[in-house]
Amino acid sequence: MKRILIKTMAVCAVGGMLASCEKQQFTDQRQEVTLVEAQLNELPPDLQKVRDYVVPDAIMAHRGSTFWTPEETEAAFRWAREIGADYLELDLQCSKDGVILALHDDNLKRTTDIENVYGEFIPTTRKQYYLDHGLTNVEAETQLGKDKATFIPYYAASYMYEELAKLDAGTWFNIKPEVGEPEQARPAFGTIKQYISTLEDVIRIAEGKKLKRDVNGNREFTVKPIDKSKAQIDRAWFDGSVSYEVEYVFEYEDEIAAQWNGNRPGIYPEFKESWLNPSDMEKRVYAELARLHWNIITEPASANEPFYTGANNTVNVGNTNGKVVLQTFAISSLVRTAEVFGGKVPMNFLLWPNSGSLLEGTPSEYVSSINLAIANKAHIIGPSIAGAPNNYPESNHDWQAYLISKAKLFNHPYSFDTYEQMNKYYGVWDKGLKTDYNYKDADGKVRRYIDGMFTNHADATLKFYHDQGKTGKFKGTESAQDVLVRLGY
């Protein structure tokens, strides 16, 4: 009896091992995709309608262009408009007195001459700023004391816009320490003073305007007296500083005919780290868009407005309901944007592997990030792509693009610097390597799922789309350099 039992135990154990068929799938992410697809949510129909406000095969001029021009300056955005970009891409920050800026870094040293102008110290003109704009001597002294206590050198939100306007945001581009004088250097980036742009600057440039300058070449603006009853800026938690919000009136003028080809691109502003900006930054942007008549919630465009017009397919995105597309990496901003804009303005949730919203980029993780985007009323996923010169970590593998497609979101990867990258991620080089993850576009072409590109070479990206048979895009014939010359740079 005992022997029978022992034998039974042994047979059961060995038999169980042999009969069992474990799914050892963890090394194959494609296998994992099949497991997690069921967990993937789908963009609801009402949000799909908003998604479709965005122009197909969108060309987002990344900071205008980081290759041809000093980034996020008037020169960069004017060039992007003229070259035929669909969107002027910008980053949102806030000056200490409440002006919404187009600025990427959280430190002004790289893209301005601030070390020479102010050094590490609070501008010596700060008290005079308060006196000039309506505070009494005692009030100015009190406010100056508060400012000194919370001053962080080189951080944009430590400075009034009036102080930021004294900085040169163009000359650095001509003498990059890491490469010496770059091939793209142009004396005009220094002689025609480039400013840290504001959100309003970018919108006005998209409308075919440029900064109005005085005889000395300085931009013209006026500052209204400080309204002491107006809500002060609360700059989050980390320094506890508060500032008066000040109203600026910026002056613009229409481009002359030779310097505007009629393109009216949209804008693609990014909410930066929420903790570096006022806690109500999203509401401020909502209000600023409304003030400038670019908020489609308060002023919807005609549903029939085309993305391109005329024989040259002149860019008309800035007149459509897709004129503004929002974006962010920050989960806190994603959630706030959902509440403030209610999913009624296209929104891109950007993914950054190894940190932020996507750690390792496994299918399971990827699905959770897509679901988070959908839960917070985003319409687009913005994955990073690999390749020089940025060498970002990859988060736009074919199966990742497939998951975005399956969720019915748009896929706007960042940032393209080469034609080679465009070929790769558009699926041109997928010949013979067709997978289940390919996508059939409106033209019936089987390719990788991608709906637009953040690009530092809007010129090359436009050419790429033309090469792919996208004949509806802007028919520009000028080279990137020719456009700069035509604009006076």
Partner 1 sequence: MEMKKYIFTLAIASVCFANSAFAQGDNSDPSLLSITSEKNNLEFTAGGRLMSDVAYYHSDFTTLKSGAAISDARIRASLKYNKLYLYADFDFSGGKFAQKDLYLRYNLKEGGNGTHSIKAGFYADPASMGYNTSRYQYHFITRAAPIEALVTGRQLGATYKFYNKYMLLDQGIFAENRYNNQEAGYQGITLAGRWVYKAIRSDDMTLHVGAAARYAKMNTGYVEKNIFKQSQSFGASLETSVDATDRFLHVDLPWASSNLNLSGELLFHTNKFFARGEYLYKHVGKTQPTQELLEAQLGGLWSAGSIAAYQKFIPYRDNKFSGAYVELGYLLFGNRYSYNDEMGVLDGMNDDNALEVVARYSFVNLNDIVDGEYFLRGSKKFYAGEMTSAAANATSDPAGYYYYMDYPLPSTSVPGGKAHLVSLGLNYTFNKYVKLMAEYKYTRVDHYYYDLDKNIHAAQLKMMFSF
Residues that bind partner 1 (CB under 8 A): 1-2, 5-6, 9-10, 12-13, 16-17, 20-26, 32, 35-36, 106-107, 150, 152, 155, 237-240, 273-276, 330-332, 335-336, 338-339, 351, 355-360, 364-369, 371-372, 375-377
Which CB atom, from 121 or from 275, has the smaller least distance to partner 1? Answer: 275
Angle (deg, nearest 10), helices 281-291 and 331-341: 40
Helix (H, G, I), strand (E, B) or coil at 139: helix
Answer whether 95's CB lies under 8 Å from 101's CB.
Answer: yes
Minimum distance from CB of 20 to partner 1 (Å)?
5
In the complex, the smallest distance separating the C-beta of residue 182 from partner 1, rounded to whole angstroms, is: 28
- Going 445 to 460 to 74 to 78, the CA torsion angle's sign is negative
Nearest distance, CB of residue 387 and partner 1, angstroms: 22
Q: Are 157 and 94 spatial neighbours (Cβ–Cβ below 8 Å)?
A: yes
Pairing label, strands 452-455, 347-350: unpaired
The DSSP bridge partners found for residue 174 are none
Nearer residue to partner 1 within complex by CB, 247 or 273:
273
Q: What b-and-e string marks burial along 143-167, b requiring 16 or more CB atoms within 10 Å of the CB?
A: bbeebeebbebbbbbbbbbbbbbbb
Nearer to partner 1 (CB atom), residue 377 or residue 457:
377
Among 469, 452, 450, 324, which Cα is nearest to 398's?
450
Spatial CB neighbours of 456, under 8 Å, sequence gap ≥ 6: 62, 63, 65, 66, 67, 415, 416, 417
Minimum distance, C-beta of residue 27 to partner 1, in the bound complex (Å):
8
Nearer to partner 1, 229 or 355 (CB): 355
Pick 20 or 216: Cβ nearer partner 1 = 20
* Sole residue written with tokens 């309204």: 227
Return the number of the residue (22 or 183) whose C-beta is nearest partner 1. Answer: 22
How large is the C-alpha radius of gyration of the chain? Answer: 26
Q: How far is the CB of 48 from partner 1 (least distance, A)?
A: 17
Smallest distance, partner 1 to C-beta of residue 450, A: 20
Q: How far is the CB of 343 from partner 1 (least distance, A)?
A: 10
Of the pair 11, 249, the CB lying nearest partner 1 is at 11
